[in-house]
Structure 1
């Protein structure tokens, strides 16, 4: 299961990275931005927004992350 545990979980869950999440608990590990299933990057099983976080942390080195 994702980061949080709640009794209302079943009515508000989304699935991403092989886990179930509250739709508002699927957030970027770096900036805390709310993400959508399939609309984010993944590293070591954790969700990241594509820009700027994933690009900055794991993208090609030496390129501008603008």
Structure 2
């Protein structure tokens, strides 16, 4: 999912360089949304793994 965010960010940068403001803004917005979804899922995953833990071996 992080690769999608980076892809949209690169598209936004390229569109901005060529002067396509609307496309650049839309791509940057999509990249921002996908990035925050990635961060939320990462935090949920880390918390779930920390809570789950492993039983000690005897």
Scaled by the length of structure 1, what TM-score is found? 0.29
Looking at secondary structure, tell me which structure has more strand per residue.
1
Based on CA coordinates, which of the two structures has the bigger radius of gyration? 2
Scaled by the length of structure 2, what TM-score is found? 0.30
Looking at secondary structure, tell me which structure has more helix per residue.
2
